[in-house]
A and B are shown apart, each in its own frame.
Chain A
Amino acid sequence: MTSQDEITRTAERLKDALGAAAGVMMAGDSPVRTRGSGTGDGHDLLEFGPQPARGRPRPQPSLRRLRPLTAAASVVVIALVAAGVSYLTGNTGGPAISPASLGPVPRMNSAPDPAVLRSPGYLAARSRVVKIIGSAPSCGKVIEGSGFVYAPQRVMTTAHVVAGVTRSVPPAKAAGPAVTTSGGETFRTRVVFYDPQIDIAVLNVPGLNLAPLRFSTQVNLGDNAAVAGYPENRSFTGVAARITQVQRAEGPDIYQSSQVERQIYKIRAVVQEGNSGGPLLSPSGTVDGVVLAAAVGVPSPTGFALTSAEIQADATAGATATAPVSTQRCT
């Protein structure tokens, strides 16, 4: 027999499944076109154009132009490939996002080169990557993630790492998540900027005297990089990554209340829970992007990072913000 409880649960499961399915179905099937490819040297140059209107639902994906290094541009039809994405905080099963990929770029797909983990720039940048732990009493969760210093006493992370967080862990009289450096020093923080649409948050960390990391101004597809952070509640961990694609991905905001487009890098790297919010570091130690998610159900380890271009507006807003803002509710 079917009880009322079961009916209610079935209705919830149905709603959830339809929402998730809609998330992986791409908007329309008209191919999106952009220019790119054909550089001959195995690298496409990504140029950061002006920021489009952000954070609002945009029904038609428009791809920022990819310009090749040489004049021999060819039109690439973008395959509308969907990929499921699991969000990477310790205890949240976040929304799926569906990237419109740039199609296969086989030469970009070689395995990450671990040499990046020995480059001086990367080695110097490591100390500016911090661990973030906060407690969200409203939903009984402790959320762990990573972040990095990007401005004086300002740490950037993803919004879903601090969503609903109103206390530090371990318990201290702090109304924001705790930040711990690779050296083991712990700081009280307050969230001063919170963007659940793009999925970025900025913490004010008084007393934190680490030199800020800079954002990369140019990223080439195929570049080596490193995913830096504190996965699985471990100490600082860096893994080699390769940037394989840049995409405009349509997906829900962290509360699944609207569809958002984000520019993201698809990276080949082992991205784990707790990496979320950490930087994707270039060999020279600049921030290529912010680690957002890992793909699920794909044969080779794949992650996604918000591009540094996508987060510039948030970075600017967060760098000078001082007033604590609400972290709203858990995801």
Chain B
Amino acid sequence: MQSTRQPAGQQRRERAFLKRACVPPEKFGQGRCEPTTKNALVFRGWQHMHSIKRWTSRTREMSGAIPTTRRVRDLLIQDSPALRGLLRIKGGYAARALPWDGLVEVARAAAPSTVLIVAPFDDPALPVPNPRLRELIGASGGIVPVLALVPFRSACTAAVRTLLEQGVTDIADVDLEAVPDAIRPRLQAVHAQPLKRSVEPALSRFASVNTRTLVRAAAEVAVDGGTAVDLADVFRSTERTVSGWCAREALPPPRRLLAWLRLILAISLLESPHRSVAKAARGAGYSFDHSLRRAVRDMLGGDAPPRERTVSQALDAFASELRSLREQRRQEKRAA
């Protein structure tokens, strides 16, 4: 049988090489470290690594200006003179104007990261919402956020309350916020709102604010089809750090947490009869429909196809995993 141990000489050579590799690039050619062929190779490696680092930090700097992930979010804007200014929006958003009919049609199959923007009062002096608004809210299936731009005048208060009760995700001031720069905070605020709203009841009432923040951030990333790295980017941190936070808050690791939210999102999308399994899978960030089927089987158990699953089943399974993790964490604490 051949021994796996390396001879002492080879070990020494490798250790010396590793030591040289740890020398920062600016120190090359100084002192005892001569620019040999091997050193030159290591130097090139360092240069490459530094260029990646620089690129990453530049992307992070920009992430304040663009949404979490590099994916572009769609803005479907009602074709109205009050909202035309929003069509100039750039930096992570792609806007297009549609009449009410087109808006309702597209909303049926829109991705969950899309935002539907409407000005529901045809006559600002008469705060009565357009009757097509209800149809639009129904077509969005409660999973695509609807943002209504209304005049913030005293006469409109009752109508605004009614809009929120009818299912509009959020409201904004049409006089002040109907320009690209001003609307950005509101767009960030409505992003992933429907998913957050459906997941929140699954969390225990004893869940800390940090637990909720992590789940909300994961919902935002899942809606964009992002990964654990994107989740870390929300906090300008690393995946490893976020993993540590998840463990501390008795949450599943970031990848698992995102997998749960993707699954809940996909099943929510499937509740609309206009979406096929393949479309819902793609909308929730799965590459293929069979990836969604496998995820449903693995995480919810049983052989029933995704279309037959309900959001409440998925939320129950998620809540049950959180409960068991919490119990495990409690036992670990007690043992410590």
A pairs with B: no
Q: Measuring CB to CB, which residues of chain B are less than 8 angstroms from any residue of chain A? A: none
